[in-house]
Amino acid sequence: MNADWFVPALAPHVPSLASAYRIERRIESRDRVALTFDDGPHAEGTPAVLEELARRGATATFFLVGEQVAQRPALAREIVDAGHEVAVHGYRHTLLLRRRVGALADDLDRAVSVITDATGVVPVLYRPPYGVFSSGALAHVRARGWRPLLWSTWGRDWERRATARSIARRATKGLEAGDVVLLHDSDAYSSDDSWRRTAAAVPSVLDAVAALGLEASSVTHST
């Protein structure tokens, strides 16, 4: 693996690098913000988030982990039945930098299979674990015809010290139309019970979106 293999890994933190590699961080919209949730489905976190979104009539995109879907296929289906979008976050939540393309291909095949079987939807959006791409992974994802997507703002809700207030504040700081907000509806790969703080922050995030006269929606929005 040469040095170029590792360069895209910095894209979540260096917007100019994301642009250079054509990795989207935002959506094209003048009237909406895309809400995204990673790492689920989670037995408690996902229903809690779905309840808050339903209460406010908002939609979101859920980047699902295959091994979690395999444990809770009915819950993955519930996400789709509630009008939300599902996307791929891998079968196992493993950093891509030291995964060869062949191993990644097998992982993604498993993820797509289990997500499609559970939800009836063939996903086309992909976000890697931790938002970290290798150059090989990025090329492979594009060869599949998938759309790689990162985020432009996040709540850092996986942190042990995060609170509902800090999550909402960070996720909505400088918020504007076209932003992609990253949150997590699962604590499977983060601090214990982090989903509780995320679910508690969702109303404040939605309030901030509404205060700007914007709509909270999934990435691939349909009316």
Q: Which residues are catalytic?
A: 38, 184
Nearest CA to 40 out of 144, 200, 188 is that of 188
Q: How many residues does the chain have?
A: 223
Q: Is 216 in contact with 71 (CB distance < 8 Å)?
A: no
- Determine the Cα–Cα distance for residues 43 and 50; give it in Å rounded to an integer: 12
- Determine the Cα–Cα distance for residues 136 and 96; give it in Å rounded to an integer: 9
Phi, then psi, of 199 in degrees rounded to 5: -60, -40
Q: Are strands 180-184 and 32-38 parallel, antiparallel or unpaired?
A: parallel
Q: Is 129 in contact with 87 (CB distance < 8 Å)?
A: no
Instruction: Count Cβ atoms below 10 Å from residue 92 Cβ, excluding itself.
Output: 14
- Alpha-carbon dihedral sign for residues 114, 118, 124, 126: negative
- Helices (H) and strands (E) counted in the chain, each on its own, are 8, 8
